[in-house]
């Protein structure tokens, strides 16, 4: 995409943005909702990321990897928004969206939900973001672009996540271990989860 | 995966979890509203050049920034190709790209 605004029409640019939106908005929305710990504001944040893409292209910018670029812009926007709102990055249980779980057994649902929260609590903000991006299937290079860090740092962060997942203790053992194993497998294989 | 799924699931009352065609039309409306909020075409070039000069002046000095921005067209369509190669000489390609995006954000998007 080496063309500037002079070489791309308004319609072409809108089509380009629309195609990117169709391809990536869902995962970006998921990422924003997880970072914000709520659905509120996620759609606005995603719109802002696409607005910045639109403006960048209008100003003649060339973007080699739009997906990674959108993640980076969205991530920075969310950090900025959180800083302004003085929201702690800590995962407080009252801030977490109460999940729906497909399991029919209420005890299993509660145990899984608690286990997921505990794992999230054990991870630093940066580790949690790496985990989310990896879960979306981003490569190390894309994650590095999105987070503004080196790909070697991405590898180190994911290794730390993996170690923490392996060390997950548990009174409610099998559930927590099950989630930890699932996450570890996800990080190892780099596959994206189905929505 | 289980962890991501249970964190992502909307609450019982069913908050919209992901964008849909309505989301796309909202986005396109948002882009058009933003465009219509830009300065009038006859003032756009000078306004954007002035804002960008303020940002660039921090790094290059005011006079140099004005000089660098002289070739920028009134629709700012060549803004990034104009400033990025120059910034790249001082900062490297990656940092220049990040700074260019920041300048567009501050001087054009959030005007």
- Give Cβ neighbours of residue A184 (< 8 Å, ≥ 6 apart): A162, A165, A166
Structure tokens at B51: 């804002």
Structure tokens at A9: 């029409």
Higher pLDDT, B69 or B44: B69
Measured between CB atoms, does A18 come within 8 Å of chain B? yes
Least confident piece of the model among A10-14, A120-124, A140-144, B43-47:
A120-124
Residue A33 has pLDDT above 60, yes or no: yes
pLDDT tens column, A45-65: 999 999 999 999 999 999 999
Option in B9, B27, B30 nearest A99 (CB): B9
Residue B57 has pLDDT above 80, yes or no: yes
Inter-chain residue contact A39 with B16, CB threshold 8 Å: yes
Collapsing DSSP to helix, strand or coil, B76 comes out as coil
**What ipTM, to 2 d.p.?**
0.81
- Give Cβ neighbours of residue A11 (< 8 Å, ≥ 6 apart): none
Residue A121 has pLDDT above 60, yes or no: yes
Where would I find the beta strands (DSSP E) of B1-111? none
Compute the distance between CA of residue A24 and CA of residue A138 in angstroms, rounded to an integer. Answer: 12
pLDDT band at A186 (very low <50, low <70, confident <90, very high): low
Residue entry with tokens 């995006």? B101
% of chain A beyond a pLDDT of 70? 69
pTM of the model as a whole? 0.73
Residue B89 has pLDDT above 70, yes or no: yes
Structure tokens at B96: 């220049």
CA A178-A180-A185 angle, to 5 degrees, is 95
Are the C-beta atoms of A123 and A183 separated by less than 8 Å? Answer: no
Are the C-beta atoms of A89 and A125 separated by less than 8 Å? Answer: yes
Predicted pLDDT of residue A166: 77
Q: Which residues of A touch B76 (CB under 8 A)?
A: 5, 58-60
Option in A30, A47, A195 nearest B30 (CB): A47
Structure tokens at B12: 């019982």
Q: Which of A82, A90, A59, A54 is nearest to A69 (CA)?
A: A54
Structure tokens at A88: 């702690």
Measured between CB atoms, does A121 come within 8 Å of chain B? no
Compute the distance between CA of residue A68 and CA of residue A33 in angstroms, rounded to an integer. Answer: 18
Q: Whole-angstrom distance between the N-terminal and C-terminal Cα of chain B?
A: 41
Residue entry with tokens 């959030």? B110
Compute the radius of gyration of chain B from its Cα atoms.
Answer: 20
Compute the distance between CA of residue A67 and CA of residue B83 in angstroms, rounded to an integer. Answer: 24
Q: Which of A122, A98, A153, A129 is nearest to A30 (CA)?
A: A129
Are the C-beta atoms of A96 and A38 separated by less than 8 Å? Answer: no
Q: Which of A85, A109, A47 is nearest to B9 (CA)?
A: A109
Measured between CB atoms, does B13 come within 8 Å of chain A? no
Q: Which domains does chain A have, with CATH numbers?
A: 5-84 (1.10.1740), 100-189 (1.10.10.10)
Least confident piece of the model among A2-16, A95-109, A146-160:
A95-109
Least confident piece of the model among A55-59, A98-102, B63-67:
A98-102
A34: closest CA of chain B, how far (Å)? 7
Which DSSP category does B108 fall into?
I
What average pLDDT score do residues B55-61 get?
Answer: 90
SS3 content of chain A, % helix, strand, coil (to 5): 70, 0, 30
Option in B1, B16, B100 nearest A135 (CB): B1
pLDDT band at A169 (very low <50, low <70, confident <90, very high): low
Compute the distance between CA of residue B64 and CA of residue B90 in angstroms, rounded to an integer. Answer: 14
Inter-chain residue contact B6 with A54, CB threshold 8 Å: no
Q: B3 to chain A: nearest residue by CA? A: A116
């Amino acid at each position: 995409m080496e063309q500037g605004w002079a070489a791309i029409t308004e319609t072409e640019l809108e089509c380009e943005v629309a195609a990117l939106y169709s391809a990536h908005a869902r995962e970006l929305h998921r990422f924003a909702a997880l970072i914000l710990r709520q659905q509120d504001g996620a759609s606005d944040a995603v719109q802002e990321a696409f607005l910045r893409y639109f403006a960048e292209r209008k100003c003649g910018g060339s973007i080699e990897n739009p997906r990674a670029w959108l993640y980076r812009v969205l991530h920075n926007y969310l950090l900025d928004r959180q800083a302004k709102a003085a929201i702690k990055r800590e995962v407080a249980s009252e801030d977490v969206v109460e999940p729906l779980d497909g399991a029919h057994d209420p005890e299993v649902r509660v145990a899984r939900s608690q286990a997921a929260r505990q794992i999230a609590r054990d991870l630093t903000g940066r580790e949690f973001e790496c985990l989310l991006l990896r879960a979306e299937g981003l490569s190390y290079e894309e994650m590095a672009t999105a987070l503004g860090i080196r790909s070697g740092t991405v590898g180190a962060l994911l290794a730390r996540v993996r170690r923490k997942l392996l060390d997950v203790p548990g009174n409610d053992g099998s559930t927590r271990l099950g989630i930890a194993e699932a996450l570890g497998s996800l990080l190892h294989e780099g596959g994206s989860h189905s929505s | 995966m289980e962890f991501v799924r249970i964190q992502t699931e909307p609450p019982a009352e069913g908050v919209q979890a992901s964008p849909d065609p309505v989301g796309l039309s909202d986005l396109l409306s948002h882009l058009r509203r933003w465009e219509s909020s830009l300065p009038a075409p006859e003032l756009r070039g000078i306004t954007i050049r002035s804002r960008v000069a303020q940002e660039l002046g921090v790094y290059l000095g005011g006079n140099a920034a004005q000089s660098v921005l002289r070739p920028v067209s009134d629709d700012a369509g060549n803004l990034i190709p104009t400033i990025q190669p120059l910034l790249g000489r001082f900062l490297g390609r990656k940092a220049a790209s990040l700074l260019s995006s920041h300048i567009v954000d501050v001087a054009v998007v959030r005007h």
